[in-house]
Each structure stands twice: as structure tokens, then as C-alpha cells.
Amino acid sequence: MRIVTLNESVKKDILGSLLKRSPNQYTEYEATVNEIVAAVKDKGDAAVFDYTKRFDKWDVNSSNVFATREEIDEAYGQVDDKLIGILKEAAENIRDFHKKQVRQSFITTRDDGCILGQKITPIESVGCYAPGGKAAYPSSVLMNIIPAQVAGVERIVLATPAGANGKVHPVTLVAADIAGVTEVVKLGGAQAIAALAFGTESIPKVCKITGPGNIFVALAKKACFGSVGIDSIAGPSEILVIADETANPRFVAADLLSQAEHDEMASAILLTTSMELANKVAVEVDRFTAMLSRKDIIEKSLDNYGYILVGETMDDLIDAANDIASEHLEIQTKEPYEVMCRIKNAGAIFIGPYSSEPLGDYFAGPNHILPTNGTARFFSPLNVDEFTKKTSIISYSRVGLEKVHESIEYFAESEQLTAHANSIRVRFTEE
């Protein structure tokens, strides 16, 4: 990994480079995605099935597009018992954490008879997307479905692509069942997002779509937003580690590589005040990379978006971390909680040498579907609130309104909305 002295110019250049990874920058794919979305909206099943046959190479139709109970039961027999047990344990951790996020409706009353409140209502139906095909990501399945279930969503649809044999990866089906999915639709890519957003003859539309996917999925979510709600538009994975001279260079290097192996666009950055640590981490990165199965991907990722940045003070590191607003932020310093309190922008914060990022990916409980590409400045991890709606409740008595009606009328007339003013005034004037 390249070692660079941290300064404002370097920080600006790195931020510019990282932003180029955003799905919003891949305009060359937008025309293709928009064509797919428009076709599905117009032609329904015919378009969805045609694109699936073309891209995923299996003969899908209305009779086999949903996974059956028999397929799910068969999947259990194809996944080893140890992994099933781990999935169940992870699911419980995730469920327990997200239960703490549940909000309650509330009503407040006043002596003059006025009532104000907020009603929390689960979204009626959601589509949760999980990548599939050759690889399987059961962790993303759990992270998508469980918060929706905890929120009380009645219909939870998992969309995930099938292989050329028309089968979804068995561990994906098992994870979906453990999480409490309602339906599994064997579709992937932009056509799956469009089918969920607009509905087809076979696939009822949903109210919101969540979950990560490739660039086509990301751009399809963007294209369908407005017709359907979305959580956010996921970009490539990223990790940032803040470490001082007390950090273990082997731990730091291993953690950086845990994200670099995702794909060539993944970002791995170390911020440190110690040149000695920087050099040791660089050596460990090379040593680990040579041993790892995804060596080629890691090397390309580090060449493109891997940095070891050496700053003069911890203040410099914290300022840089807040500007980068990383998806995953690890703090391995002498006083990690002091640093944590000053972090404003991060998707998830991992504190201490034994809180490596994969702990959050698989097991701890907090959601691993996180804001990327600097969007942690204004987005949050996927959470129970994403699957609920908040409705305001207002009930004023005559006494309560009489005390304020002239102020409201004046306010409305200041905006030249005389009908607004009249709607209040008419309640206190004779015909």
C-alpha cells in the first residue's frame, strides 16, 4: 500500500477519487437500466422473463418465478447443520438489536382539550434485494429481512437471482426462511427492481425496496425512486482505520484487506500518526495478500483506492475521517472512546482491537447495510425506522383554536394564502 503524508491537498485528491466510485458517476449504464425499467413497466411479466432468460440463462415463467416451500425445505438439506446453527444465532443477535429501535406511537393532551400525537405504522410491503448467482450472501439476507419483520411489515419479498438451473443458492433460501421472509422471487438485476417497483401480472408491487446490489441494481433503484421508496443507493464497500502507535499492525492490515477483497472498486484507508506503524502495516498487507484467495482483486483494489495516510496529530486524522465519512470506521488507538466521541460521519464504528469489521458483517447485531461514498454525512444504516411510516395526529378543541386563530390567520395572509386564513376565520365568524 502506498504511504502518503496527509495534508489538505492529498485529502482533496482522495475524496475526489473516492467519489468517482459512486453509482451516480456511471452514466454509461443509465440508458441500459432505464430501458429495462421502462420495458418492465410497460410489458410486465414478458419483459421480466425475457431479461432474466437473457442475463441469467434460465427458463423463468409465472409458474416457477417464486421459490416454493419444497425448494426451501430442500435447501435445508443442502446446508450443513453447523452453518444453519450459526445463521440462527446471528439472526437472534440481529433481531435483539433491532427490537431496541422500535418506536411507539404517542399522544399528548393539554388542559384546553387539544390533542397532538404521532402514529407509527409499518409499511405494508417491502422488497429486499440480495445479490446471488454464483455467490451467496446470507448475511445480507438476514440484515434486510429481520428489521422489516421487527417493524411489523406484513409482506416481505426477497428478490435474488437464480442460477442457470433456476435454483436459488440454498444458503440464501435458508437464511430467508430463518429471517421470516414471506416470499422469495427468483429474479435479479434491474428487472427485479422494476418488477417490485411497478408490479407485473405475477409479481405484486411493493411499497419500498431495500438492500445492496451491483451497479445495475443501484441505478434501477435510483430510476424507480418516487414510484417506490428506497433505502439508499449502495456503492462499493469501504473501510477506514484510525490507528496510533499502540495498534497491532497485523490486526490493522488484516482488517483493511477484509474490505479490499470485495471488488476492485473497494476502498481501504489507514489514518495514523505513526510512520513506524504505517511501514509495518504495509509489510503485513503484502504478506497477507500473497496468502489470500482473492489476491488479484485485493491488489487491484489497493492500487486504485488503498492508502496509508500519515498525519501529524490525532485532530488531523479525525478531521479527515469526518470528511471521508466511511462506510466502516475502525478505531484502534490508546483512547478509542475519546476518538469515537468526535466522529460525526461514519456508517458503523468499530472500537478496539477485537472489534474487526467482519464482526459487524456477520454476527454482532447492528445492521451491515450501511451508507457508502460519503453518504454517511446524511444517511444511516438500515434500521427499523426504514420500514415504518410516521403520521401526525392533530385534534384541537374550540377553546384551543380560539386562542391562536388570529395568529394563524395573520400567518397565512402573510403568505398570501387567503383561503388558508379563511378556513380558520370561518369558525369564529357568523355567516
Residues annotated as part of the active site: 327-328
Give the three-class secondary structure for 391.
strand
- Which of the 8 DSSP states describes residue 68? P
The sign one gets for the Cα dihedral 172, 174, 177, 183 is positive
Q: In the numeric block, which cell numbers belong to residue 13? A: 485528491
Q: How many helices and strands, by DSSP H and E, does the chain display?
A: 17, 14
Question: What are 42's three cell numbers?
Answer: 410497460
Please state, in angstroms and rounded to a whole number, the distance separating the CA atoms of residues 260 and 274. 22
Asked whether the beta carbons of 189 and 51 are under 8 A apart, the reply is yes
Distance CA 350, CA 352 (A): 7
Q: Cell 422471487 maps to which residue?
A: 185
Q: Which helix (H) or strand (E) holds 284?
A: helix 275-291
DSSP track, 153-214? -SEEEEE----TTS---HHHHHHHHHHT-SEEE---HHHHHHHHHH--SSS---SEEE----
Radius of gyration of the chain (CA): 25
The residue behind cell 401526525 is: 392
Amino acid identity for residue 62 in this structure? S
Spatial distance between the Cα atoms of 13 and 410, rounded to a whole number of angstroms: 52
Q: Which residue has the cell 468517482?
A: 20
